[in-house]
Amino acid sequence: MVAFIGKDAENWGQVTALMKRMEYDKAIIIKDKNAGAFPANSKTQIVNVDTSKPLIELKEDILKVMKDKLSGDFEVALSIASGNGKEHMAVISALLSVPVGIRLVVFTKDGVKQIN
């Protein structure tokens, strides 16, 4: 599972709920370096990024980290419930450049749902 965590802490509950209820081997949380502390578990790796960088630089920073962490993976479950458009574009572009497939996931009142 991969998720982006921005400064909008009110949306972090969506990612936290996914982490508690979804089956996954590892979680990679890409986090704005200025965002607060995000609760992690033993399967979680947190990657801090500087979201003030231009989009292309941000994407390249994320890609460098993701290539190592996702080598050999076929696809990832992705949550972009937190963050903004620029941050989402950088994450999606980096993941597609790894390359891995993306399944968008969300936690609903009916549980974890894939939305694509």
Q: What's the CA gap between 33 and 70, in Å, rounded? A: 21
pTM score of the predicted model: 0.91
* pLDDT given at position 87: 96
* pLDDT given at position 41: 85
Q: What does the pLDDT average to over 10-29?
A: 92
Mean pLDDT for the chain? 93
Q: In CATH, what number does 2-114 get?
A: 3.40.50
Tens of pLDDT, residue by residue over 33-71, are: 999 888 888 899 999 999 999 999 999 999 999 998 897
- The domain segmentation of the chain, as residue ranges, is 2-114
The tokens of 106 are what? 């969300």
With beta carbons less than 8 A apart as the criterion, state whether 51 and 33 touch: yes
